[in-house]
């Protein structure tokens, strides 16, 4: 499988290589193709007029624009960021610098008020005086470089020559040059967000100073064009992002910042946006959010979404305003202070300047399935009803960056509440400061001892109290997007190899009212204890030997189990098992245990229903199917 993946990668990269090989980005080619004047990054000179026209015509756009100006006014009297490192990271300071410089520069370009110029200049000179930008954690360098590159480029004509020289020197010495040190530039071979963020930051720096450093700039940009496909290939084949919703926002946002910068400054993205799966990934981000504003937060992802600049880039590229369905409320509801914390906020206006917010309509498809390294199936009964049913299912592998042992897990929203939940991650420094090796991905890695990260606390199966196999992998094998009964089936057998002979899980929605989770398990030659687990924020009452009542905020949901094997319904504590684990207040684990007789095949149905009435459920082989995956995904970890 590894050979197949390598071959697929080079096939995907061929169009990019073909374009760059016909016109290598030498200093001469760079000078010829590059916009000669500043600004050349993201928003060219004079394009402010289009933004201001949209701001004047639409209250939603005016709200974002005015929020940035108000925040820029607030920044005027703030002291510049200081070089204060937290653990091994300077990242929060780099991000704050990017937020400030981007918004202050936008404020200056759209108002001409010199107070914003001077405050941005002060911020950039302050960080330029830092001893370094912490290259040992290179994300810090990348975001800081992007920050000062945007300010340098957008404010170029108005900055004093001495300030330009100081900032330019910092971009080279503290930003770009460390990226050629082998101790720090492992991101060039990464297949995840580090590659995207770091290449984007270096490219912004290179483009900003290209007329003064053409040889260095051409090398940096060429290197990025050559290596960033490694982190874009995992979006294939359908757009499902392997690291989950939260890291989609991080990696993808910087990826499109990179592509947008190339397009504006050089007139081309070198075919990179055409890499398999990348342009489909907006569907993944949109479909991951449920009807109550909570996302399917598997892996190291937070629970809530936010205003997403990247989605405006995708909507504009695809001429599909429906991709902004989840974004529209940010323009009319809540406090603007909620989104001025977004360090890339001005990009919303840059990429959305031609978007009519009133033209945004609900998407049509109610099920979205993506394969790849972390396959998902996302089903809902409505895009417009806040009480709609939403089910998010995840397959995949614990070997993926930022993954948990959660193959087979799901979240469930209904009646305006979340009934099946995921903890998401624990704050990294709280673990690293205690000496925990957080990011190991081997079977015996310390990561799997962290309470929130293994299968015992996810909405999936456990056999004989064992962990899932890190090398295992599960795709979505078949599914139906029929409105009458949306459904999915996933084979989890390799995730539990040696623990059971075979296991499949299916999830379906019946009559827009009930959700059924069906598991079919074949035991090995010895008896096996199966544990079926649900993590929920609801209060739990065991009603009888097959029924659990879940309640929250005056609403009830019944969890009804059905099997020919005797079940023992149980609850488990979410109290942390180590002193380094985060607390988990307001949560419960409930489910059942069952003994699988040696060599037998057993089926288990779990109904989520507002009533105690249930319908018979057929074997998974008889479930409705109108789509099937390849027998083994080319992205399989096996």
Residue with tokens 């015996």: 444
How far are the Cα atoms of 111, 171, 259, 485, 632 from residue 98, in angstroms, in the given order?
A: 20, 14, 18, 47, 43
- Helices within 500-614 (DSSP H only): none
The 8 Å CB, 24+ separation contacts for 609-616 are: 609/513, 609/514, 609/515, 609/557, 609/558, 609/560, 610/414, 610/415, 610/513, 610/556, 610/557, 610/558, 611/558, 612/547, 612/558, 612/560, 614/514, 614/560, 614/562, 615/510, 615/514
At 23 the pLDDT is: 58
508, β-bridge pairs: 487, 516
Paired strand residues for 560: 547, 607
Alpha carbons 210 and 200: distance in angstroms, whole number = 15
pLDDT at 15: 42
Sign of torsion over alpha carbons 398, 460, 587, 337: positive
Calculate the CA 108 to chain-centre distance: 31
pTM of the shown model: 0.92
The pLDDT of residue 631 is 63
Is the domain 367-614 a CATH 3.30.413.10 member? no
CB 27 within 8 A of CB 291: no
How far is 3 from 111, CA to CA, in rounded Å?
55
pLDDT in tens, 49-94: 999 999 999 999 999 999 999 999 999 999 999 999 999 999 999 9
Pick the CATH number of 25-359 from 1.50.10.100, 3.30.70.2860, 1.10.357.10, 3.30.200.20: 1.50.10.100
**pLDDT number for residue 7:** 40
The pLDDT of residue 96: 98
Residues of the chain scoring pLDDT < 50: 1-22, 634-638
- What are the DSSP calls for 228-289, one per residue? THHHHGGGTTT---TTHHHHHHHHHHHHHHHHHHHHHHHS--TTGGGSTTGGGHHHHHHHTB
CA dihedral 475, 481, 484, 487 (to 10 degrees): 0
- What is the arrangement of strands in the sheet containing 588-596, beginning at the earlier edge strand? 461-463, 528-536, 588-596, 568-572
Closest of 409, 397, 371, 406 to residue 473, by C-alpha: 397
CB contact set of 491 (below 8 Å; sequence gap of 6+): 474, 475, 477, 502, 503, 504
In this structure, is the dihedral angle defined by the CA atoms of residues 437, 250, 208 and 121, taken in order, positive or negative? negative
Token pair 């989104």 is found at 339
Dig out the tokens for 622 from the structure: 């008889």
Domains 25-359 and 367-614 fall in the same CATH topology: no
Q: How far apart are CA 310 and CA 312, in angstroms?
A: 5
Distances 200 to 99, 167, 453 between C-alpha atoms, Å: 16, 18, 30
Instruction: Please give the span between the terminal C-alpha atoms of the chain, in angstroms, as a whole number.
Output: 7
Task: Find out whether 525 and 500 touch, Cβ atoms under 8 Å.
Answer: no
Position 22 scores a pLDDT of: 41
Task: Give the pLDDT confidence score for residue 630 in this predicted structure.
Answer: 75
Tokens standing for 143? Answer: 């975001």
Q: Are 530 and 594 in contact (CB under 8 A)?
A: yes
Domain ranges of the chain: 25-359, 367-614
228-244, pLDDT tens digit by residue? 999 999 999 999 999 99
CB-based contact 291:418 (threshold 8 Å): no
Per residue in 226-283, pLDDT (tens digit) is 999 999 999 999 999 999 999 999 999 999 999 999 999 999 999 999 999 999 999 9
**E strands along 293-387, which residues?**
367-370, 376-380
- Cα angle value 339/341/342 (rounded, 5°): 75
pLDDT of amino acid 18: 36
Residues recorded for the chain = 638
Query: What is the residue whose two structure tokens read 């945007």?
Result: 150
ω before 6 within 30° of 0 (cis)? no
């Amino acid at each position: 499988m590894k050979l197949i993946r390598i071959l697929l990668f080079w096939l995907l990269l061929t169009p990019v290589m073909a374009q760059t090989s016909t016109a290598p980005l030498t200093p001469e080619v760079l000078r010829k193709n590059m916009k000669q004047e500043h600004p050349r990054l993201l928003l060219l000179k004079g394009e402010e007029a289009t933004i201001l026209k949209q701001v004047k015509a639409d209250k939603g756009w005016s709200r974002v624009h005015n929020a940035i100006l108000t925040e820029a006014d607030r920044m005027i009297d703030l002291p510049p960021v200081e070089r204060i490192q937290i653990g091994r990271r300077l990242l929060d300071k780099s991000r704050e610098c990017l937020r400030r410089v981007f918004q202050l520069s936008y404020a200056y370009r759209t108002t001409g008020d010199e107070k914003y110029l001077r405050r941005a200049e002060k911020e950039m000179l302050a960080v330029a005086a830092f001893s370094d930008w912490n290259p040992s954690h290179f994300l810090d360098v990348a975001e800081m470089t992007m920050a000062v590159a945007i300010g340098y480029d957008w404010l170029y004509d108005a900055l004093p020559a001495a300030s330009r020289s100081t900032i330019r020197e910092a971009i080279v010495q503290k930003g770009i040059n460390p990226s050629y040190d082998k101790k720090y530039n492992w991101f060039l071979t990464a297949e995840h967000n580090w590659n995207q963020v770091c290449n984007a930051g270096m490219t912004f720096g290179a483009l900003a100073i290209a007329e003064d450093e053409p040889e260095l700039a051409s090398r940096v940009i060429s290197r990025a064009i050559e290596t960033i496909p490694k982190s874009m290939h995992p979006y294939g084949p359908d757009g499902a992002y392997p690291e989950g919703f939260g890291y989609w926002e991080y990696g993808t946002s910087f990826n499109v910042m990179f592509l947008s910068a190339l397009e504006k400054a050089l007139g081309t993205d070198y075919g990179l946006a055409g890499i398999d799966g990348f342009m489909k990934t907006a569907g993944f981000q949109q479909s991951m959010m449920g009807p109550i504003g909570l996302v399917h937060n598997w892996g190291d992802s937070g629970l809530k979404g936010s205003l997403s600049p990247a989605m405006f880039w995708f909507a504009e590229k695809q001429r599909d305003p429906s991709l902004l369905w989840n974004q529209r409320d940010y323009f009319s509801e809540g406090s603007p202070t909620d989104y001025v914390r977004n360090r890339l906020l001005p990009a919303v206006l840059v990429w959305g300047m031609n978007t009519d917010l009133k033209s945004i309509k609900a998407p049509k498809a109610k099920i979205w399935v993506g394969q790849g390294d972390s396959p998902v199936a996302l089903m809902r009964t409505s895009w417009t009803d806040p009480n709609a049913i939403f089910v998010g299912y995840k397959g995949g592998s614990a070997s993926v960056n930022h993954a948990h042992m959660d193959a087979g897990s799901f979240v469930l929203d209904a009646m305006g509440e979340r009934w099946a939940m995921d903890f998401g991650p624990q704050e990294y420094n709280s673990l690293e400061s205690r000496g925990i090796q957080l990011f190991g991905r081997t079977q015996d890695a310390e990561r799997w001892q962290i309470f929130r990260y293994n299968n015992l606390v996810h909405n999936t199966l456990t056999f004989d109290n064992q962990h899932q196999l890190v090398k295992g992998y599960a795709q979505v094998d078949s599914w139906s997007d029929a409105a009458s009964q949306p459904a999915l089936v996933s084979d989890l057998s390799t995730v539990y190899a040696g623990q059971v002979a075979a296991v499949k899980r299916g999830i379906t929605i019946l009559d827009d009212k009930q959700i059924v989770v069906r598991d079919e398990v074949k035991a090995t030659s010895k008896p096996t204890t199966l544990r079926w687990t649900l993590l929920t924020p609801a209060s739990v009452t065991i009603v009888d030997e097959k029924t659990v009542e879940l309640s929250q905020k005056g609403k009830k949901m019944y969890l009804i189990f059905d099997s020919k094997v005797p079940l023992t319904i149980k609850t488990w504590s979410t109290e942390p098992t180590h002193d380094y684990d985060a607390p988990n207040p307001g949560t419960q684990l409930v489910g059942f245990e069952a003994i699988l007789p040696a060599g037998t095949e057993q089926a288990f149905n779990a109904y989520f229903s507002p009533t105690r009435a249930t319908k018979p459920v057929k074997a998974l082989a008889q479930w409705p199917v109108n789509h099937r995956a390849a027998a083994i995904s080319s992205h399989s970890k096996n």
